[in-house]
Amino acid sequence: MNDLRLLPSVDQLLQTPSILDYISVYGRPLTVKAIRSVLDEVRNTYVNGEPILPQDELLDEIQDKLISWTEPTLQQVINATGVILHTNLGRAPLSQAALIAIQETASSYSTLEYELEKGRRGSRAIHAEDLLKRITGAEGAIVVNNNASAVLLILSTLARRRKVCIARSQLVEIGGGFRIPDVMKQSGAKLFEIGTTNRVHLYDYERAIQEESIRLIMRAHRSNFQILGFTSEPSIRDIVKVAHQAEIPVMDDLGSGSLIETNQFGLGHEPMIQESLAAGVDLVCFSGDKLLGGPQAGIILGKGDLISKLKKHPLARAIRPDKLCLGALSATLLHYLKEEALSKIPVWRMISEPAEQIKARATQWAAHLDRGTVLQGESTIGGGSLPGETLPTWLLAINARHPNRLLSKLRQSSPPIIARLDDDKIMFDPRTVLAEQEQHLLTYLNNILIP
């Protein structure tokens, strides 16, 4: 009989051994909330004629609710997609040295804003600044929480209520729907567009400088798309020359930016940070978690006097990085200083890994699983870097009668496995699978593929 009187009370359920176990794991207050929530749901469904759940099923429902409430939404995954800087999957994985730096910084007190030598308050700005200046030769550096913040800080400091000149071909939209014009508007700067969508000439900059009250010239690298065909654009060196003749500073938003020449790996040329500085750019900004291979950060390099102005702006405090970011960033920068980035930073290990070595790994996977086919394929850089550029790779391809079901099962793994679907085949690219994750990937695959 469907009678709500058969439903146990909260106090009755609290006396059961299962609930006592839940309390030991999740605590009494949360467990009580879960019990009440489940009982309320049962009462609501009873109105519709649903049968009263037996007690063992009620206990299962309570446990499921506790798990769903406490399971982290941010968790580690295995990236088998072949997209190296996968924005949805957290972009650059950190080096072991960066992970150690985070652990040491987080587990104790630190010298975040303390000078040991003088025994007094210091500045958090010093921790990465010296390394950045040594690596790039820049006069000054400042770190903020991401590159959009870096752009906002520069514009707010140098061009609030003033005109900023930018080519129409560079009015890009970055990830998450954020657009350069919107960031400029938020800073209080006035956007002054020159050129056309596909062509901008040096005389466009010269005319704008002569006819308008331009306070700053901005170049934004098209890091996530290409313009092909009938196009033209002056070099950053020429732009700087024209701007400096009029005593107007130039900022270069590289988006990703690289300290390593990407041509050597068969890729196109990604604008390098050193190139912008050598061209005389006054300020250059870029991301920390893309081709740099570090934590999320916005990094600004350039002329010492301008960096000093940025540091003094009130916005700088609102967008400053925390100690974990600075610890990881410093450890990442040390790899560049010691010229060991290709072997120590995961992003660069993946980019530089030879295709034949990847083929050997894919072949070993197929042999271990005793199934699948090894096929040629392509890896991509991702993360708004090197649009349209790919690296040759080898894939483990597994046929599946119901590929979407298999992809769903892979995502249910712990940690979840993210692969890609192509022509009804599940593709696994070894390039982006970390060595320490391989065994779990193969074990889980072997279990779910057993006939």
For residue 187, the tally of other CB atoms under 10 A from its CB is 21
DSSP state of 53: P
From residue 170, alpha-carbon distances to 26, 106, 198, 211 in Å are 51, 39, 10, 21
Among residues 390, 333, 332, 395, which one has the least CA distance to residue 361? 395
Tens digits of per-residue pLDDT, 293-313?
Answer: 999 999 999 999 999 999 999
**Residues 211 and 290 both lie in one domain:** yes
**Residues 43 and 102 both lie in one domain:** no
**Residues 303 and 179 both lie in one domain:** yes
Q: Which residues pair with 220 in a beta bridge?
A: 253
Structure tokens at 23: 């309390």
Tens digits of per-residue pLDDT, 69-91?
Answer: 999 999 999 999 999 999 999 99
pLDDT of residue 377: 95
Instruction: Label residue 143 left, alpha or beta by phi (over 0 means left) and psi (-120 to 50 means alpha).
Output: beta
CATH of the domain at 407: 3.90.1150.180
Can you give 3-48 as a three-state secondary structure string? CHHHCCCHHHHHCCHHHHHHHHHHCHHHHHHHHHHHHHHHHHHHCC
Tens digits of per-residue pLDDT, 249-260?
Answer: 999 999 888 999
pLDDT of residue 229: 67
pLDDT of residue 303: 97
Q: What backbone torsions phi and psi does residue 194 show, to the nearest 5 degrees?
A: -130, 160
For residue 369, the tally of other CB atoms under 10 A from its CB is 14
For residue 366, the tally of other CB atoms under 10 A from its CB is 17
**Residues 420 and 326 both lie in one domain:** no
Domain termination residue (choose one: 303, 338, 373): 338
Residue 451 pLDDT greater than 60, yes or no: no
More confident residue, 382 or 34: 34
CB 187 within 8 Å of CB 160: yes
From residue 298, alpha-carbon distances to 102, 150, 314 in Å are 18, 5, 17
**Residues 309 and 172 both lie in one domain:** yes
Domain span at 367:
78-86+347-448
What is the DSSP pairing of strand 250-255 with strand 214-220? Answer: parallel
CB 429 within 8 Å of CB 395: yes
What does pTM read for this prediction?
Answer: 0.90
Number of domains in the chain: 3
CATH of the domain at 123: 3.40.640.10
